[in-house]
Structure 1
Amino acid sequence: MQVFKAMLKVMRKRLPSAMIYIIVFVVISIIVTNASTKDNKFEVTKLDICVFDEDDTPESRALIDFIGKSNDIDEIENDRDTIIDSLYYKRVNYALIIKKGYAERLAAGDTADLFGSYHIDENYSVVYMGQLLNEYTTSVKAYLTMGRTLDEAISSAEEALSQNTEVDMLRVDKGGSSHFSVDFAGYFQYMPYILIAAVFTVVCQVLVTMNNKDIRYRTNCSCIAPSKYTFQMFMGSAVFVLAVWLLLIVIGAILNKEMYTGRAWYAVLNSFIFSVVVTAISVFISSFEPKENVLNLITQVLSIGMSFLCGIFIPMEVLSDRVLAVARFLPAYWYVRANNMIADIEPFNRSSVIQCLLIEAGFAVMLILLTLLVRKLKYSGSAIVTTAKKVAVN
């Protein structure tokens, strides 16, 4: 097991590079988990609003007082450039103009074109203020229709619109009794990216080093058969990947105490099979002896590419049919699809989940066979003899 031991020694030196990805992933997971466990209370967001009252009547001032109860009223100079600058630099969110004749038209029940405004674009503050003003004037008009005076209608409208209801934001996990919460599903959702990035950073670099021409020629001259050499390379890679996977699983168990119950077992099995696939991919790529800069490029393309195409970073329901059709040829697609069914993002079907797991395993088997074929063609004794003859002839 000389090759196996040598790989572990080299991997120890590369371990800090992988730990960066793992630590960042764990820290983000802890932050998200802690945030989700807090009681979620709904709070109305206050806007910074400036109001220019061209009507200057008790009715218009009553409107300003009403707006000020739920928002912050700021005073700025009534100059277009000043207003635009304030909006651009976010000193105010919305500039409201109460047009002249507001009180008269409101008393007559005319609620159209009572206001003007300045705003940068159609954002939340614009929609919110438009809805607030519409509710206020519509309520006043309704009370006027009921026969009340303008002052009484304004008071009644303010009282009705000032009613507050306590709202608690509740989260419902679709998994029901599956003990596979939304947060935990998200933890497994992003695990493939971390596995690919961390494993490729260490395993591929080590394997490329081990496949160095001088080292390979010396190994082929030894008593170690090429098949045993390849087997030990797989074993060394598998041990490292297994260690990374176990670390992530243990951390997941700490973050979610119900990890080993219900459908969570499927998620654990799903992540294990994908880790085997990642091992197979890393050994297969390293067989072509890419240079370090090329290897870094391959790592980024595979990790980020599969994350975007297969639904890791972007939900599958958002992706187009063409993108998903291409993603079917990538193992991460089947991982995410299984994870979605386990979390009930898609309807849970045990046979479909098992089918996804088997397809992932099929990718691993195919890559292992291709790796054996490539290594037999490139690193066999006959290949070295052929190379030596060519050198001798030259």
Structure 2
Amino acid sequence: MQVYKAFFKIILKNLNQIMIYIVVFISLAIALANTNSKPVNTNFTDAKVNVAFINNDTDSVFVKGFKSYLGNNVNFVDIPDETQKLQDALFFRQAEYIVRVPKGFTEGILKGETVQLEKTIVPGSTSSIYIDSIINKYLNTAKLYTESMENLSQEQLVSYINKDLALKTDVNLKTSAYESSNNEKRAYYFNYMAYALFSVLILGVSSVMIVFNNTDLKKRNLCSPIKLRSMNFQMILGNLSFAVITWVIMILASFIMYRGYMFSAKGLLFLLNSLIFTFAALSISYLIGNVIKSKTAMSAAANVVSLGSCFISGVFVPQALLGKNVLRIASFTPNYWYVKSNNSIVNMTNFDMQNLEPIFLNMLIIIGFAVAVLAVTLVVIKQRRVSN
């Protein structure tokens, strides 16, 4: 395994340059994880709206019951029944909703007729939709009873309605605001890893290929007793080992910071997605290593390819903020599909095939990139060998 050992000897000689990217990435990841940003509270809370209630009907038991129920959800304000004063109240937001009970309202309800309340609202007010739903719930329940039961008294009707509408259902949120904030940090971690991983692989693989592609050294290797097939096998094994070792080092920090989360379904999907991307990045690094001929070009390629592809694919800037043309160009890089998968993983709530299928499809596209670039690399190597 002389070639395999030589591979890692060259890596060790360039370790200082490679470690810069690893240390910077891990430092940024730890700093990001320790950022104590207060999550936004997205829980629903009841807000009582100021409502003016004007009754043009008799002061019946049903109207009193209706007003009492409405009062549990709104604040009643006392405004005289004058057009100018009512308009001023709406303008100055003393009231956002004015409900007027028309004459004959109670009689119409008891007969099962469809009776419309008159309302005046602030234009474009979202609170009016909330009040409408409360009123409709009460009146629809009343209509259901009057159509189903005969000779109902107003007291019985109000009692039945209040009993039904008193039933409530508790709602528990599966994902809290704090958990959502942590999910975003985990997605950022794996998104940023694309840049560091890409840079390290390009520098490492290119440094080895520059040495082995040296004309004089290549001639000496061809004269050695080691078969060309064995040399190629050891070279492939060295590249794969270096890629996997780099990936393991990159994800170690995630196990320290996120611990049990990395063994959950989302954590495992993040790991699988990053591993597949590692092989795609390795394939591109192998192509670059067989094309460039100097260490100066190696550093330039590492910066241009890794930084350029990461900027346009959503690693540093969220894909939602990038233009369509930029994303269209970025779709020709594996980084784009890698970040897209990470964004889908972090937003998942149900792990069914409908949600998993787009993620696995993105992974297959990344694998397609790896295979396509590797095929191009083999053609380049064969053409160079034939020409020499």
* TM-score bin, normalised by smaller chain: 0.5 to 0.7
2:336 corresponds to: 333
Cα deviation code 1:76-115 (max 9, x no counterpart): xxxxxxxxxxxxxxxxxxxxxxxxxxxxxxxxxxxxxxxx
Unaligned runs of 5+ in 2: 42-91, 95-175
| Other structure's SS at 1:181 match | helix
Please list, as runs of the form range in 1=range in 2, the aligned pairs for 1:78-117 lying within 5 A after superposition.
none
Q: 2:197 touches 2:250 (CA, 8 Å); kept in 1?
A: no
Question: CA separation in 2, counterparts of 1:228 and 1:245?
Answer: 26
Match of 2:370 among 348, 357, 364: 364
Paired amino acid for 1:237: N
CA distance in structure 1 between the partners assigned to 2:278 and 2:374 by the alignment: 13
Match of 1:287 in 2: 290
Q: For 1:256-294, what per-residue CA distance to the aligned partner results, in whole angstroms no more than 9, with x for missing partners?
A: 011111211111011001111111111111112432222
Pairs within 5 Å for 1:15-34: 15-34=15-34
Q: Which deviates further from its counterpart, 215-224 or 325-334?
A: 215-224
- 1:275 matched to which residue of 2? 278
Spell out, residue by residue over 1:45-99, the C-alpha distance to the aligned partner (whole angstroms, 9 max, x if none): xxxxxxxxxxxxxxxxxxxxxxxxxxxxxxxxxxxxxxxxxxxxxxxxxxxxxxx
- Note the 1:203-242 alignment, pairs <5 A: 203-242=205-244
Q: Distance in 1 between matches of 2:364 and 2:287?
A: 20
Supply the distance in 2 between the matched residues of 1:333 and 1:252 (Cα, whole angstroms). Answer: 22
Letter in 1 for 2:193: M
CA distance in structure 1 between the aligned counterparts of 2:384 and 2:225, rounded to whole angstroms: 18
1:226 positional shift: 3.9
Q: Give yes or no for the alignment of 1:305 onto 2:305.
A: no
Alignment map for 1:142-291 (pairs within 5 Å): 171-174=177-180, 181-257=183-259, 258-291=261-294
Alignment match, 1:52: none
Q: Are residue 12 (structure 1) and residue 42 (structure 2) matched?
A: no
Matched-pair contact (CA < 8 Å) for 1:3–1:233: yes
| Residue correspondences, number | 252
Query: If you compute each CA radius of gyration, which structure gives the higher value, 1 or 2?
Result: 2
After superposition, the Cα gap between the structure-2 partners of 1:370 and 1:231, relative to the gap in structure 1 and judged at 3 Å, is farther
- Out of 351, 355, 359, the residue aligned to residue 357 of structure 2 is 351
Tell me the equivalent position of 2:381.
375
Partner of 2:315: helix, strand, or coil?
A: coil
CA shift for structure 1 position 371? 1.9
Q: Who is 1:155 aligned against? A: none
Residue type matched to 1:19 in 2?
Answer: M
Q: More displaced, 184-193 or 220-229? A: 220-229
Q: How far did residue 250 of structure 1 move? A: 1.6
Structure 1 length-normalised TM: 0.59
Residue identity matched to 2:10? V
| 1:297 Cα deviation after fit | 1.6
> Any conservation in 2 of the 1:188–1:267 contact (CA below 8 Å)?
yes
Shift of 1:199: 1.8
Report what 2:129 is aligned to.
none
Secondary structure, counterpart of 2:262 in structure 1:
coil
Deviates more, 1:22-31 or 1:230-239: 230-239
Q: Secondary structure at the match of 2:263?
A: coil
Moved more, 369-378 or 328-337: 369-378
User: What is the Cα deviation at residue 309 of structure 1?
Assistant: 0.8
SS at match of 2:368: helix
Residue 129 of structure 1 corresponds to which residue in structure 2?
none
Contact 1:234 1:283 in 2 (8 A): no
Give the 3 Å change call, closer, same or farther, for CA 29–222 of structure 1 in structure 2: same
| Secondary structure of 1:259's aligned partner | helix
Contact conserved, 2:212 with 2:218, CA < 8 A, in 1?
A: yes
Distance 1:352 1:237, change over 3 A: same
Distance 1:272 1:34, change over 3 A: same
Counterpart Cα distance in 2 of 1:229 and 1:307: 34
Deviation at 1:353, TM superposition (A): 0.3
CA contact (8 A) 2:202 2:288 kept: no
Amino acid at match of 1:355: L
Q: Secondary structure at the match of 1:300?
A: helix
Between the aligned partners of 1:6 and 1:196, the Cα distance in structure 2 is: 22
Q: Tell me which amino acid in the other structure corresponds to 2:249.
A: L
Scaled by the length of structure 2, the TM-score of the pair is: 0.60
Q: Is the Cα–Cα contact under 8 Å of residues 211 and 289 in structure 1 kept in the other structure?
A: no
Superposition misfits of 4+ residues, deviation over 3 angstroms: 38-42, 170-175, 223-228, 345-348
Return the alpha-carbon distance in structure 1 between the equivalents of residues 252 and 376 of structure 2: 32
Note closer, same or farther for the CA distance 1:224–1:368 as it changes in structure 2 (3 Å cut).
farther
- Please give the alpha-carbon distance, in whole angstroms, between the structure 2 residues aligned to 1:192 and 1:370: 22
Structure 1: stretches of 5+ with no match in the other structure? 43-138, 143-169, 385-394
